[in-house]
């Protein structure tokens, strides 16, 4: 500060240094509070990192957290007659291993109608009869659902197509070139859904003043009928209105592509199950390793992790390990512990997968193995429920409580620091002013002393002159 330059002028004392030391002494409680804030912030960051680790763990659980993702069934279709693929297959976990003899006799088709009139250009006017001031419509009927579309009295070929496509009718209109070179452009209307129930008819008409309807414009003739799919599965004939069929073989969707026959083989993909189990082990170990790092205690150096001694974190880790090593009720008659299929706990608390033992378990009872993880009481199910509660702030669980408490403590400490800073600033201002006042007083006293000395000297001189 500018006025510190007068410190010590009269006293000759290093009062500026003394003031700085007094201020530093007064600031020591602030330093202690700052250390408390930093410790709380470090702890808060550790809990936030724990929350992130739990979110990552839950994502891993969700990736294998239902039977459909965990229990994988592979499908292989071998064509024995016909051309092309005949069909492709999609499976879910409910598909059972086995073989099926399938023959595709007919594919489901969409209805197609085509205008009998042709046009030289897409900009040609579609001639309509009747008074141009009357209301004109295009009518499209799909499976009994009627859509009437207003149209101008002089629409072009493109106008008709655009009006149909802009409507709610479940069809697609287009302009085709039949290659004739003369009136080669025609209007085609195709249903968007296959199946005999989805017939399509199209006409153009106007409404007369008396309310009667009169057809006009081109006629639309069918060029392809709407038909159902016909297939035989294991000797039983089925008729379906779509080429994507999922209600014949449980857990299997057949996507028909061409006519022909073949053998569908369904088998459990043990390699995919093993990969999912290894992913689970890796995710579990990553989470527990992080918790161990945060709660570590070194008996030689007495160094501890940031969350050492925190009961919430210790309780969380105990719960995770209890679930992973506990009995799973209702999983099956062969296995009810993860250790029975090759997942054991090591000395450091991590899980280790014995692939040979897992292979034997999968060969013996693959469904039981999957149920250990994903049944109602499965390990993944229990862990996901536990983590969900921890991450759901509305549940006010221990993790939320720790985060809220630390955040509140930091806010309170920062408020205290603000008040202490204000008091320190006031103290500094007062102490500096007091030392300035001291120098001013000393200066005045020194001036009075000098004046008194000069008066004494003058009086001595006076008496000397008289003598």
> Could you read off the pLDDT of 86-139 as tens digits, one per residue?
999 999 877 888 999 999 999 999 999 999 999 999 999 999 876 777 889 999
Radius of gyration of the chain (CA): 45
pLDDT category at 60 given cuts 50, 70, 90 is: confident
Which residues are within 8 A (CB) of 378 and not within 5 positions of it... i.e. 6 or more apart?
A: 328, 331, 371, 372
Residues 281 and 394 in one domain: yes
Chosen domain end from 341, 375, 401:
401
Residues 189 and 209 in one domain: yes
Q: What is the pLDDT of residue 1?
A: 42
Residues 121 and 214 in one domain: yes
In a domain, 22, yes or no: no
Comparing 92-96, 121-125, 173-177, 346-350, the range with the smallest average pLDDT is: 92-96
Tokens of 456: 């004494």
Cβ distance 246 to 254 under 8 Å?
A: yes
> Could you read off the pLDDT of 262-274 as tens digits, one per residue?
999 998 888 888 8
Answer yes or no: is pLDDT of 327 > 70: yes
Which H or E run includes 49? helix 15-63
Answer yes or no: is pLDDT of 363 > 80: yes
Chosen domain end from 381, 401, 421:
401
Residues 100 and 248 in one domain: yes
Cβ distance 408 to 363 under 8 Å?
A: no
Answer yes or no: is pLDDT of 428 > 70: yes
Overall average pLDDT of the 27-55 stretch: 83
Residues 280 and 297 in one domain: yes
Can you list the positions of beta strands (E) in 220-269? 220-224, 229-233, 236-240, 244-245, 252-256, 260-268
Q: What is the pLDDT of residue 14?
A: 60
* Whether this model's pTM surpasses 0.75: no
Residues 397 and 319 in one domain: yes
Overall average pLDDT of the 68-97 stretch: 87
In a domain, 286, yes or no: yes
Task: Compare 39 and 169 and report the one with higher pLDDT.
Answer: 169
Residues 233 and 104 in one domain: yes
Answer yes or no: is pLDDT of 66 > 60: no
Count of structural domains, the chain: 3
Helix axes 270-294, 379-391, angle to 10 degrees: 40
Q: What is the pLDDT of residue 67?
A: 52
Residue whose token pair is 């006017």: 125
Q: What is the pLDDT of residue 339?
A: 95
Residues 161 and 196 in one domain: yes
Residues 385 and 358 in one domain: yes
Answer yes or no: is pLDDT of 401 > 80: no
Which H or E run includes 206? strand 200-207
Chosen domain end from 373, 401, 429:
401
Task: Compare 335 and 390 and report the one with higher pLDDT.
Answer: 335
pLDDT category at 2 given cuts 50, 70, 90 is: very low
Answer yes or no: is pLDDT of 467 > 70: no
In a domain, 83, yes or no: yes
pLDDT category at 361 given cuts 50, 70, 90 is: very high
pLDDT category at 241 given cuts 50, 70, 90 is: very high
Comparing 92-101, 211-220, 228-237, 421-430, the range with the smallest average pLDDT is: 421-430
In a domain, 463, yes or no: no
Answer yes or no: is pLDDT of 49 > 80: yes
In a domain, 144, yes or no: yes
Residues 234 and 276 in one domain: no
In a domain, 124, yes or no: yes
Question: Cα 60–337–278 angle (5° rounding)?
Answer: 30
pLDDT category at 427 given cuts 50, 70, 90 is: confident
Mean pLDDT of the chain: 87
In a domain, 49, yes or no: yes
Q: What is the C-alpha separation between 380 and 366, in angstroms, rounded?
A: 16
Residues 241 and 264 in one domain: yes
Answer yes or no: is pLDDT of 250 > 60: yes
Answer yes or no: is pLDDT of 4 > 50: no
Q: What is the C-alpha separation between 392 and 353, in angstroms, rounded?
A: 31
For 465, counting Cβ atoms within 10 Å of its Cβ (0-12 exposed, 13-18 middle, 19+ buried), the class is: exposed
Cα 378 to chain centroid, rounded: 24
Residue 147 sits in which domain range?
Answer: 112-224
Q: What is the pLDDT of residue 111?
A: 98
Residues 210 and 310 in one domain: no
In a domain, 464, yes or no: no
């Amino acid at each position: 500060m500018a006025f510190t330059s007068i410190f010590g002028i009269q006293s000759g004392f290093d009062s500026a240094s003394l003031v700085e030391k007094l201020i530093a002494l007064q600031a020591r409680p602030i330093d202690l509070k700052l250390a408390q804030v930093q410790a709380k912030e470090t702890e808060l960051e550790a809990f936030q990192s724990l929350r992130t680790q739990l979110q990552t763990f839950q994502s891993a659980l969700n990736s294998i957290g239902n039977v459909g993702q965990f229990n994988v069934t592979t499908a292989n279709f071998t064509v024995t007659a016909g051309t092309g693929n005949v069909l492709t297959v999609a499976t879910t976990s409910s598909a059972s291993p086995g073989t099926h003899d399938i023959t595709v006799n007919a594919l489901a088709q969409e209805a197609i109608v085509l205008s009998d009139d042709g046009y030289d250009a897409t900009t040609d006017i579609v001639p309509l009869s009747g008074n141009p001031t009357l209301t004109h419509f295009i009518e499209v009927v799909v499976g009994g659902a009627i859509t009437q579309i207003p149209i101008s009295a002089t629409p072009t070929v493109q106008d008709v197509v655009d009006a149909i496509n802009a409507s709610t009718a479940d069809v697609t209109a287009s302009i085709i070139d039949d290659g004739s070179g003369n009136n080669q452009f025609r209007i085609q209307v195709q249903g968007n859904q296959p199946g005999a129930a989805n017939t399509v008819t199209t006409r153009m008409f106007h409404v007369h003043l008396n309310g009667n309807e009169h057809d006009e414009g081109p006629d639309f003739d069918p060029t392809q009928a709407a038909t159902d799919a016909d297939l035989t599965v294991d000797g039983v004939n089925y008729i379906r209105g779509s080429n994507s069929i999922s209600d014949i073989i449980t857990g299997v969707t057949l996507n028909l592509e061409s006519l022909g026959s073949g053998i569908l083989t369904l088998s459990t993909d043990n390699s995919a199950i093993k990969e999912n189990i290894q992913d689970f082990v890796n995710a579990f170990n990553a989470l527990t390793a992080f918790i161990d790092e945060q709660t570590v205690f070194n008996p030689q150096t007495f160094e501890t992790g940031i969350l050492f001694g925190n009961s919430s974190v210790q309780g969380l880790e105990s719960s995770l390990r209890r679930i992973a090593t506990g009995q799973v009720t209702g999983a099956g008659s062969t296995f009810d512990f993860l250790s029975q299929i090759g997942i054991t706990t090591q000395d450091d608390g991590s899980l280790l997968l014995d692939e040979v033992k897992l292979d034997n378990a999968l060969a013996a009872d693959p469904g039981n193995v999957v149920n250990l993880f994903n049944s109602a009481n499965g390990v993944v199910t229990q862990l996901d429920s536990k983590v969900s509660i921890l991450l759901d702030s509305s549940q006010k669980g221990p993790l939320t409580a720790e985060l809220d408490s630390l955040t509140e403590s930091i806010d309170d400490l920062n408020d205290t620091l603000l008040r202490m800073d204000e008091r320190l600033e006031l103290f500094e201002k007062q102490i500096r002013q007091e030392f300035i006042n001291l120098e001013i007083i000393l200066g005045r006293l020194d001036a009075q002393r000098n004046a008194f000395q000069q008066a004494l000297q003058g009086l001595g001189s006076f008496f000397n002159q008289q003598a």
